[in-house]
């Protein structure tokens, strides 16, 4: 009996360890995810090759950790060759965990950028603050400082 239990635990652990932490998502799925959220949400678009993106992510993760009513979503815009191995390795190495993680499976920025916000031309990082319960939607099309992130979280949850 112990052998069966150990075998089951080994199998379960191996299956779980191979599960992807970053889900592949289309712009339609992401749009629906944002639209159907019942809690305030911060959606940050980033890439592993974008230095300003990497610099601001800790500010978002710190603010989200202090406010469990907000869902923090990190959406990787890395190249298809980077998904999933390089994206997940990058996130683990930097300890950019504690957020919902997506990789946007889209290559046509002319299609997906305006669906997030009409003024988005494709530059990174950008962040969308959404509170559907208050019809609140704010787009920030530039890198943010720690103080700006804290203030944005406050506005989102007022």
In a domain, 14, yes or no: no
In a domain, 38, yes or no: yes
Would you state the structure tokens that stand for residue 65, as one six-digit string? 């950790």
Task: Return the axis-axis angle of helices 146-157 and 51-66, rounded to nearest 10°.
Answer: 40
Q: Residue 81 has what pLDDT? A: 96
Query: Beta strand pairing status for 126-131 and 41-46?
Result: antiparallel
pTM attached to this predicted model: 0.88
Q: Residue 115 has what pLDDT? A: 96
In a domain, 81, yes or no: yes
Pure H helices in 36-103: 51-66, 85-94
In a domain, 107, yes or no: yes
Would you state the structure tokens that stand for residue 101, as one six-digit string? 């993680």
Domain span at residue 121? 21-157
Q: Residue 16 has what pLDDT? A: 44
Q: Residue 10 has what pLDDT? A: 44
CB 39 within 8 A of CB 119: no
> What's the first-to-final CA gap in the chain, in angstroms?
55
In a domain, 95, yes or no: yes
Which helix (H) or strand (E) covers residue 138, if one does?
Answer: strand 136-140
Into how many domains does the chain fold? 1
158 residues of the chain, pLDDT tens digit each: 555 444 444 444 444 444 679 999 999 999 999 999 999 999 999 999 999 999 999 999 999 999 999 999 999 999 999 999 999 999 999 999 999 999 999 999 999 999 999 999 999 999 999 999 999 999 999 999 999 999 999 999 98
In a domain, 9, yes or no: no
Cα 70 from Cα 15, distance rounded (Å): 30
In the 8-state DSSP scheme, what is residue 50?
Answer: -
Listed residue (142, 134, 138) closest to 152, CA to CA: 138
Q: Residue 2 has what pLDDT? A: 52
In a domain, 112, yes or no: yes
CB 114 within 8 A of CB 120: yes
CATH number at residue 25: 3.40.30.10
């Amino acid at each position: 009996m112990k052998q069966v239990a150990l075998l089951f635990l080994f199998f379960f652990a191996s299956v779980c360890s191979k599960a992807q932490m970053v889900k592949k998502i289309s712009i339609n799925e992401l749009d629906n995810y944002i639209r159907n959220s019942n809690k305030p949400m911060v959606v940050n678009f980033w890439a592993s090759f974008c230095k300003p993106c990497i610099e601001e992510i800790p500010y978002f993760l710190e603010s989200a950790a202090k406010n469990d009513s907000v869902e923090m979503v990190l959406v990787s815009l890395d190249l298809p060759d980077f998904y999933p191995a390089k994206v997940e390795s990058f996130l683990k190495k930097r300890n950019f965990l504690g957020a919902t993680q997506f990789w946007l499976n889209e290559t046509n920025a002319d299609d997906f950028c305006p669906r997030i916000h009409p003024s988005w031309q494709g530059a990174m990082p950008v962040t969308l603050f959404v509170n559907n319960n208050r019809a609140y939607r704010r787009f920030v099309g530039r890198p943010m400082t720690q103080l700006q992130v804290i203030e944005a979280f406050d506005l989102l949850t007022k």
